[in-house]
Structure 1
Amino acid sequence: MNKKKIIAAAAAFGVAASLFAVASPANAEPVSNGPVVVGSDTLQDVMNALANGTTTTGSAVRSSAGSAFAASFDATGSVTVQTKSGGPRFGRPNGSGDGVRALSRSIDGQPYTSATPGSPTNVTITGQVDIARSSSGATVVANGPLLYIPFGRDALSYAHSGGANAAFDNIDQATLKGIFECTITQVGGVTVVPVIPQSGSGTRADFISKAGIGTLGACVRVGQEHDTEFLADGTTPFPANAITPMSAAQWVAQNTGAGIDRRGAGVKIGSPIAGTPAVTGTGASMVPNAAFYANSTWGRDTYIVVENARVTSGDPKYDANLARLVSNAANQFANTASVLPTQAGSVKKKFGFLAPSTTTPFRAALRA
């Protein structure tokens, strides 16, 4: 279990003052009993902020589903979760792929097994998940049962513990490919340690695709995405001279204090594009570099995923409250405007996300 995760002790049922009682929006478990959100670590902290309520923009912002609020579960923490009162305990969905798979099994009723080590196998979780966080898209299927709704623009780079060795700051795409295939073993005259996020991570899948990695080599170690303190077991320190995929938005949030700080001592963010850093500024003043986010290879849109029928007016399964929650209204999950501090888009910007390249949703198949 990751040492940085803390189980929230308080619940917010019916207590008005609790709507914005949490100074930091990053809680390991939800504080309310509305629609259930699981999946991507990349979107976890900002979705927690919107679900639990935040004043990070200077104004109170909280997304709502009618009179209820979303219950956003972290990607890591306890091995199992119980998402709804009276529901089964099942393996915690860890990562985009695992989250979309859990949503799919919640829809089709087929048995679900989480990628989280030690999870119970083949659990029926019908109706236990309403929304999946995803840092990657999917193949468009015109009449698919899932709807991918653009959430925000992120960019994928890498973090490293190479210290003052400047060679670690700019590692190009071809070199990254060789490092993770273990055909390149040194950077700047020292042995490099490649660390890939856990199975089920959208960031892992994206990085492998963007870097053109064929087969991960035997030298690659497994970490938890966006954690540069520990490897996947939560206790082994992140190695020296290591590199790992890193969401630029997550790096911004961890530096500004908006999100959970999982930075190891001396770890930096690099860039695979010479002369174009992933972020600019330092500390609380760090912001995304729009030029890096716009890059056709390393930039990426992120999504919230729902069952299409439940947000389609006129469908027998239509859920007006869920549809409202994932809409682009000012304080709701899909809002991308960042002009006013009362808008969800302004919250996303504080967490390192820019407006997505498109606001048009698309449909996709259930995930096997």
Structure 2
Amino acid sequence: MNVKSRARIGAVLSVAALGVGVLAAPAQADPNPVTEYRTLAGVGSDTTQDVVNGLGDVVKNAIGQKIIASWNATGSASIKTKLNGCTITRPNGSSAGIDALRNAVDTNSGCLDFARSSRGPVDSSTQDLTWIPFAKDAVTFAKRSDSALPSDLTTAQLKAIYECTTTSLNGVTLTPVLPQANSGTRQFFLSSIGVSAPGACVTQGVQENDGTVLVGAGDIVPFSVAQYTAQEKGVVTDRRGAAVLGSVNSIAPRNADKSLNTAFPFTRDVYNVVPSAKLTNTSISQSFVGSSSKVCAQTTVITNYGFGTLGTACGATTLKGER
């Protein structure tokens, strides 16, 4: 392990130790209390965990009971999602959440009802799962505020950085960083810049949307714009550290009022993934399906967490796949 890697891990552990109390804030963690087993249980994406927690606090059934229970990407090693049985390993990231949902469907366990995902399907061999969009996000690069690295990069420059053919800029040696393998943000970012296999110079495996991993002047990492905004506003735990967002192709990821710039090159929909066979289930249908669904109606909550709204595209059920 090199010196920079040791410093990066040490910085992250120090911040985690200091932030234990903060992580228990309302609408920013697992269901509180964890024994409040709601109708719909979900896991997965780090990027959307906080906004779905916020939605879980306001989306209710006809008698005022909360419907959506969502478990964060990180925390205790295992979670219990239903009253009877259903103690599972906590999935970290979009792909891990989708795989856990697939397993629940295949085994008919009933332990999970949806998965949070910041990416679309990567396998269309079946139509077993449906990706239901509910908000708009973007992904850009982040660097340290005290770094001499450019604040604006082109798509071609980002590709060269993550393929390790460009190793320095403005006299600063680059250290490109990527989230852990199950991260939807990682997959979306690499696809957006045209990288199929990161180069050997890339540091991999960090937790996404955590600016404290940037410990050196040459560090650069993909970051969800919505997560950055929510952290900046203080509606979720602030993990930005010294990170600042960069522009791509001379286009800023946010407007002057810090709302999402939908003209940014790397925008994406974010989803709640459900079993296709359960689209007509009353709780799933009323919560997620259609632009008038309970989730899609919560535009104030969605924008408060830094995301953009989708209008009539919210709640569509056309996007299907296996994983």
Question: 2:50 matched to which residue of 1?
Answer: 45
Whole-angstrom distance in 2 between the partners of 1:290 and 1:184: 29
Quick check: 196-205 or 63-72, which moved more? Answer: 63-72
Matched, 1:348 2:299: no
Matched, 1:288 2:260: yes
**What whole-Å deviation, never above 9, does each CA across 1:309-353 have from its counterpart, x for those lacking one?**
2222xxxxxx312322224576722x1xxxxxxx41111111121
Q: 1:181 to 1:139 in 2, by over 3 A?
A: closer
Question: 1:135 matched to which residue of 2?
Answer: 118
Give 2:128's match in structure 1, choosing from 129, 142, 145: 145
Q: 1:48 to 1:212 in 2, by over 3 A?
A: same
Whole-angstrom distance in 1 between the partners of 2:145 and 2:161: 14
Q: 1:65 to 1:96 in 2, by over 3 A?
A: farther
Q: 1:210 to 1:102 in 2, by over 3 A?
A: same
| 1:201 to partner: Cα distance | 0.5
Whole-angstrom distance in 1 between the partners of 2:73 and 2:131: 19
Residue identity matched to 1:179: I
TM score, norm. by length of structure 1: 0.74
Q: 1:46 to 1:260 in 2, by over 3 A?
A: same
Q: 1:84 to 1:8 in 2, by over 3 A?
A: farther
| 1:172 to partner: Cα distance | 1.3
Question: 2:71 matched to which residue of 1?
Answer: 73
Question: 1:204 matched to which residue of 2?
Answer: 186
Quick check: 167-176 or 200-209, which moved more? Answer: 167-176
Question: Residue 154 of structure 1: SS of its match in structure 2?
Answer: strand
Give 1:189's match in structure 2, choosing from 160, 165, 171: 171
Residue identity matched to 1:245: P
Question: 2:239 matched to which residue of 1?
Answer: 262
Whole-angstrom distance in 1 between the partners of 2:202 and 2:236: 27
| 1:253 to partner: Cα distance | 0.8
Whole-angstrom distance in 1 between the partners of 2:66 and 2:226: 28
Whole-angstrom distance in 1 between the partners of 2:66 and 2:255: 38
| 1:224 to partner: Cα distance | 0.6
Q: 1:187 to 1:29 in 2, by over 3 A?
A: farther
| 1:140 to partner: Cα distance | 8.3
Whole-angstrom distance in 2 between the partners of 1:270 and 1:309: 41
Equivalent pair of 2:123/2:322 in contact (CA under 8 Å) = no
Matched, 1:273 2:249: yes
Richer in strand (by share): 2
Equivalent pair of 1:6/1:27 in contact (CA under 8 Å) = no
Whole-angstrom distance in 1 between the partners of 2:112 and 2:189: 27
Question: Residue 225 of structure 1: SS of its match in structure 2?
Answer: coil
The runs of 5 or more residues in structure 1 that have no matched partner are 10-21, 54-61, 110-124, 231-236, 313-318, 336-342
Fraction of identical pairs, as percent: 34
Equivalent pair of 2:138/2:224 in contact (CA under 8 Å) = yes
Question: Residue 322 of structure 1: SS of its match in structure 2?
Answer: helix
Equivalent residues, number: 300
Q: 1:320 to 1:256 in 2, by over 3 A?
A: same
Question: 2:10 matched to which residue of 1?
Answer: none
| 1:98 to partner: Cα distance | 0.9
The runs of 5 or more residues in structure 2 that have no matched partner are 1-12
Question: 1:14 matched to which residue of 2?
Answer: none
Q: How does 1:1-368 map to 2 (within 5 A)?
A: 2-3=16-17, 4=19, 24-31=26-33, 32-34=36-38, 35-51=40-56, 53=57, 62-65=58-61, 67-109=65-107, 126-138=109-121, 144-161=127-144, 163-165=146-148, 167-222=149-204, 223-230=206-213, 238-264=215-241, 266-274=242-250, 276-281=251-256, 286-292=258-264, 295=265, 298-312=266-280, 319-328=281-290, 332-333=294-295, 335=296, 343-356=297-310, 358-359=313-314, 360-367=316-323
Q: 1:73 to 1:221 in 2, by over 3 A?
A: same
* RMSD of equivalent CA atoms: 2.5
Q: 1:203 to 1:96 in 2, by over 3 A?
A: same
Whole-angstrom distance in 1 between the partners of 2:191 and 2:125: 24
**What whole-Å deviation, never above 9, does each CA across 1:144-182 have from its counterpart, x for those lacking one?**
1211111111111111115252x4311211111121122
